[in-house]
Structure 1
């Protein structure tokens, strides 16, 4: 038996679709949709290590350099603020800018000097704000009147006991609601729908099990005396077991074609009832693949800090990263030039005037809409 890996499962692929039944057309459509999702997952598998290397080697060093340049600019602006020569209005504008810059930098750097600068230019210090954020939530437990007489250990024990009691009450209420829900009688329509769903699930499991048993019977490695053939069947049987464990009907059918246990005529000759059962299983596989794709893409966004509104696809993310690297390079270059100009206090004053003009222009543009 010669294996032909990669055999595609489709009904009469080279014939006019008009001659196919509704179930046959649906089968071919579902197979094609599964292939498209497989290709997308495969593309993600291929591009993720490429993206990670480019991100680590290309973008991360630029982001670190950008942080260092912004910290340098912040120190220079702070030095300019402390020097004489600026009007009160210029000092106020510069102080607000410094506070905003320091606040943003504290999100990416734990430089202690940044906190000093931020506290100098902010109405409320960073440490005090952080302290408020770090205050623990108080449990919804009313203290007893005699708590002042208890030792710290006794107080902790009392509070824990009350929390345990509250937890028990919550669990009891939850169990009572669940028991009440279970007692509610389902309507005849609901009962019929549930019975139909359970019957369909049983038929789906039976269909997958039938294909699996045929494959297992043909590929059982213990029945082979030839070591090379035994090794080949062991590998194939591992693929069969993996597909069966995931309920992957399409992969099992592909394996049947691959080992020539069935041929194209067998696929074309699938009965309507069997096809309808197969189609239901394939629809479930599509939903599972969609969930897997969503998980991969959500995890990708979370790992690299990409907003949900930004569209990501395996064939575009590397180009997107290349564009971000080029933008970061230009930004760092412009920042380096600006830093050299800040050696002159007059340049700082000119920069402030330019910032005020930009702010006024931006506000005018906003008001015009």
Structure 2
């Protein structure tokens, strides 16, 4: 057994040798009162959640790179095969039938034309000039007409918000396209929404000030508010005191040699980072590290100071849990992990392999289709089968376009910048 100053102030409390250097284990071993147990519990929660966030960030970075390396080439192959199919179908429809019997009926040609429109639309809207020409040849509505319709919808939104169409000045003096005008209008709407959010935030601040002023007139509310403010101030003072103790203890003048001076410098750098993050657990751990240099470094924590410490730890635990939840939601969406599945390397790897398998199956089918449609009889069957669900997909496409437009607007809204506390 090893004796050292008790974390909670009891002199010469016995600490198991395996706990030496483990702040959380020490706190749990020495906790006696409910407040001390809560302090120890929160230390454990923060340590566990911080480790979880760190692991999630590691997995996020690793698999973002891995997904980015593996999937885009497969998507490029899919796009290339889609373009090949568009070009083949276009060439086939431009080729006249030979002989007395028409190989492709008017119904066949209409179905194939609709498939050409469906396959070429995304490429055309992304700026592929060749696909745009082919698309417009078979579509009832050209890309420019679609852009103009989209612009009309955006202008309706401008009218509803009491805004005017922004002026677009191009460097070359040419007229802006409907798509460019729609983008400019969307940016104006986004800016207007940001302004409205700021105005609402200011109104809320004024309402809060009025409520606070009204509360001050109530003696009970005033006492409660004063206690809350004092508790917050006590918590900040406690954090500041630990930081100052570390700063004094790790001062270069207290080092006995260059090795100790370098170690002090590294510990102080960690202390600065922890203090900026309001990370109480990290500062306490640094005190424990520093105690290996100075036996008196680990100051005791009396019962009357634990309340302010617990308040800090609760806020830190809350922020970490929120950060972990947000990161998990992002990874579920980005890596296509089932929502109820625990985020892990195995789960993400399984999702990646499933995506690769899906691409492999689609690419195999597309290559087979390209060979199949070279025969007119097979082409007619293929066009009939694939056009059956085209109307449903077109309806979904319209919904997706609206969702994408609204998503683009919402993604431009400012987000609260959570301060990481670990």
With the shorter chain as reference, the TM-score category is 0.7 to 0.9
Equivalents in 2 of 1:58, 1:178: separation in Å?
Answer: 49
Measure, in 1, the Cα distance between the counterparts of 2:56 and 2:227: 38
Match of 1:130 among 134, 143, 147: 147
Q: 2:85 aligns with which of 56, 73, 88?
A: 73
Displacement after TM superposition at 1:285 (Å): 0.6
Number of the residue aligned with 2:58: 46
* Aligned position for 2:352: 321
**Alignment equivalent of 1:86, drawn from 90, 104, 109:** 104
The 1-side partners of 2:269 and 2:390 are apart by 66
- Which residue in 2 is equivalent to 1:247? 278
Tell me if the contact between 1:34 and 1:286 (Cα under 8 Å) persists in the aligned partners: yes
Pick aligned residue for 2:320 from 279, 289, 302: 289
Gaps of 5+ in 1: 143-169, 363-369
**What is the SS of the residue equivalent to 1:343?**
coil
Distance in 2, matches of 1:134 and 1:66, equals 31
Q: How far 1:322 moved relative to its partner?
A: 2.6
1:159 is aligned to none
Q: Is the 8 A contact 1:5 1:258 kept in 2?
A: no
- Report the Cα distance in structure 1 between the residues aligned to 2:145 and 2:57, rounded to whole angstroms: 45
TM-score normalised per structure 2: 0.64
CA distance in 2 between counterparts of 1:245 and 1:114 reads 54
CA displacement, residues 61-108 of structure 1 (integer Å, 9 cap, x when unaligned): 11111111111112223334445423333333333332222224445x
Q: CA separation in 2, counterparts of 1:320 and 1:311?
A: 11
- In the TM superposition, residue 260 of structure 1 has moved relative to its aligned partner by 2.4
Deviations 1:273-295 (A, max 9, x none): 33332221111112222343355
Deviation of 1:122 (Å)? 2.2
From 215, 229, 236, the equivalent of 1:205 is 236
2:128 to 111, 115, 119: 111
Q: Which has the higher contact order (CA 8 A, sep 6+)?
A: 1
Q: Does 1:60 align with 2:75?
A: no
Tell me the distance in 1 between the aligned counterparts of 2:199 and 2:52. Answer: 47
For the 8 Å contact 1:77–1:94, the answer to whether it is kept is yes
Contact 2:85 2:370 in 1 (8 A): yes
What CA distance in whole angstroms lies between the structure 1 residues aligned with 2:384 and 2:146? Answer: 31
What CA deviation, in whole Å up to 9, does each residue of 1:33-54 have, x standing for no partner?
2122212222133223421332
* Distance verdict in 2 for CA 1:141–1:335, change over 3 Å: closer
For residues 132-178 of structure 1, the C-alpha deviation after alignment (integer angstroms, 9 at most, x for no partner) is: 43578568479xxxxxxxxxxxxxxxxxxxxxxxxxxx999998997
Residues 1:45 and 1:256: Cα distance change in structure 2 (over 3 Å): same
Instruction: Report how many aligned residue pairs link the two structures.
Output: 323
Query: CA–CA distance in 1 between the matches of 2:138 and 2:71?
Result: 31
In structure 2, stretches of 5+ residues that fail to align are: 1-18, 98-102, 165-195, 394-422
Asked whether 1:233 is paired with 2:261, we answer no
Decide which of 210, 220, 232 is 2:251's aligned counterpart. Answer: 220
User: 1:338, CA displacement in angstroms?
Assistant: 1.3
